[in-house]
């Protein structure tokens, strides 16, 4: 008994803007490099052209699922102008995955938006929900054969990014630092604490995202047979002595508001990297530690177990782990981290949490929202030649998949 069923999904995830390259019509492309500390995505990993090679490496390693995204900015590069060629491109990606026997999990929006919408305030634009719905209607026909669809990736981080972008536009940010990087730095802690105790900017930013998600779920349920959900950044927060009340408050603003809005979905996407304690005054910064990751967060492989238990308790839905991983240049640490994370997942499953699959972040070393430094990939990519070099962790995860978790013990 390994605890993982024969139809358990084992795979890896990517996001269009982080790997495709030249995402020219996106709001991210327009803003990159404008602020100090912000690197350009450029050609990224050129996965727009090399997705077949990426999928080949994944399947040859022994994995059976691939999460990738459709880029709204390519589908609708001008407001109201939908590109048939780009729809056909993403259909080819879906067909390639199916041809390889890979179960595709398709994300419809992963942080980047069309530049024309970004210029109008992004998710804060008054018609953003309606526009997203129209885009989803255009995409629905190419989803035939797809079982898993994530409408919006990490609406909670998206809300945080929208808030940072607004602050940048008002000249209030000295330099760019992605909210996905250095998540436990004092600055990020300050912001997250504010999110929980001030007029909760994140909930105000959350409203259009929740409305857009609900609209997309309705459209997809009406027009396709896919399972629909969204993927939440799970903080795996725990209470330090005396922090029990503050934990509930912070966790609500950070993630529960989105988990609760999953009512009517088919699954909940869990994305977990680290864990953090909450004290009576808010989040407690992590002390400096040699095991802390390249994005500054604590080395906490146990966070995945905490996250799936919490997400499933709040939503009552089956879980798909849509992201879990570690930013490290040391691949042995990646294997050790993932091994422990999967043990925690297996224990949560043994305790009754229904989990359909595990998709590692990330397949490739990619563009970390303004930064190229953090290495999350199972595969290294030479950014000049685009040559892919699988790391030992890819073969290791493939062996875990083939043995349905048996390899975890070895
Ligand atoms: C996002 C990814 C990101 C990853 C690692 C998540 O916040 O969905 O786009 O690269 O975590 O930071």
Mean pLDDT per 10-residue interval, the chain, length 410 residues: 87 98 97 89 98 98 98 99 98 98 98 97 96 98 98 94 82 77 45 34 82 98 98 95 95 93 97 93 77 76 97 98 96 96 98 98 96 95 98 98 88
Give the DSSP letter of residue 377: -
pLDDT score for 192 = 38
Choosing from 32, 86, 154, 343, which is the catalytic residue?
154
* Domain assignment of residue 398, given as a range: 9-409
Number of domains in the chain: 1
Residue nearest to atom 12 of ligand 1 (CA): 180
Nearest atom in ligand 1 to 295's CA: 12
Nearest atom in ligand 1 to 271's CA: 6
Give the DSSP letter of residue 364: B
Q: Is 160 in the pocket of ligand 1 (CB under 6 A)?
A: no
Q: Is residue 1 part of a domain?
A: no
Backbone angles phi, psi at 279, to 5 degrees: -100, -175
Reduced to 3 states, what is the DSSP secondary structure of residue 65? Answer: strand
Q: Is the pTM of this model over 0.75?
A: yes
Compute the distance from residue 362 Cα to the ligand 1 centre, in Å: 9
pLDDT score for 183 = 44
Q: State both tokens at 290.
A: 């040699």
Q: Is 156 in the pocket of ligand 1 (CB under 6 A)?
A: no
Q: Is 28 in the pocket of ligand 1 (CB under 6 A)?
A: no
Reduced to 3 states, what is the DSSP secondary structure of residue 330? Answer: coil
Q: Is 232 in the pocket of ligand 1 (CB under 6 A)?
A: no
**Among the listed residues 141, 134, 178, 164, the one whose alpha carbon sits nearest the alpha carbon of residue 15:** 178
Give the DSSP letter of residue 78: B
The CATH number of the domain holding residue 217 is 3.20.20.80
**Among the listed residues 371, 191, 395, 389, the one whose alpha carbon sits nearest the alpha carbon of residue 294:** 371
Number of helices (H), then strands (E), belonging to the chain: the values are 15, 13
pLDDT score for 291 = 65
């Amino acid at each position: 008994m390994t605890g993982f069923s024969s139809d358990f999904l084992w795979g890896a995830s990517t996001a269009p803007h982080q790997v495709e390259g030249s995402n020219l019509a996106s709001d991210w492309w327009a803003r990159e490099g404008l602020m100090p500390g912000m690197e350009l995505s450029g050609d990224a990993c050129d996965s727009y052209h090399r997705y077949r090679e990426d999928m080949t490496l994944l399947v040859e390693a022994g994995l059976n699922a691939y999460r990738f995204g459709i880029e709204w900015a390519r589908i609708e590069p001008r407001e109201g102008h939908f590109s048939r060629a780009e729809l056909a491109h993403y259909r080819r990606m879906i067909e390639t995955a199916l041809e390889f026997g890979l179960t595709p999990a398709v994300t419809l929006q992963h942080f980047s938006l069309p530049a024309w919408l970004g210029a109008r305030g992004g998710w804060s634009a008054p018609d953003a929900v309606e526009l997203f719905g129209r885009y989803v209607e255009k995409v629905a026909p190419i989803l035939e054969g797809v079982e898993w669809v994530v409408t919006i990736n990490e609406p909670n981080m998206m809300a945080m990014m929208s808030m940072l972008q607004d602050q940048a536009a008002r000249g209030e940010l000295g330099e760019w630092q992605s909210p996905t990087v250095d998540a436990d730095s004092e600055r990020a802690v300050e912001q997250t604490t504010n999110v929980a105790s001030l007029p909760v900017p994140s909930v105000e930013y959350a409203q259009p995202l929740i409305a857009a998600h609900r609209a997309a779920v309705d459209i997809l349920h009406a027009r396709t047979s896919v399972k629909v959900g969204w993927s939440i950044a799970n903080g795996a927060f725990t209470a330090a002595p005396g922090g029990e009340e503050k934990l509930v408050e912070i966790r609500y603003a950070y993630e529960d508001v989105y988990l609760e809005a999953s009512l009517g979905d088919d699954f909940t996407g869990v994305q977990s990297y680290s864990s953090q304690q909450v004290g009576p005054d808010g989040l407690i910064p992590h002390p400096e530690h040699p095991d802390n990751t390249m994005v500054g967060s604590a080395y906490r492989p146990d966070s995945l177990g905490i996250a799936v238990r919490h997400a499933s308790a709040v939503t009552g839905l089956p879980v798909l782990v849509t992201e879990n991983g570690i930013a490290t240049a040391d691949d042995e640490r990646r294997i050790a981290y993932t091994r422990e994370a999967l043990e925690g997942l297996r224990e949560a499953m043994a305790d009754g949490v229904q989990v359909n699959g595990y998709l590692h972040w990330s397949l490739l070393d990619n563009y970390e929202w303004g930064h190229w430094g953090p290495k999350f990939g199972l595969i290294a990519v030479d950014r000049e030649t685009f040559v892919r070099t699988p790391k030992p962790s890819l073969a290791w995860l493939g062996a875990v998949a083939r043995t349905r978790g048996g390899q975890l013990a070895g």
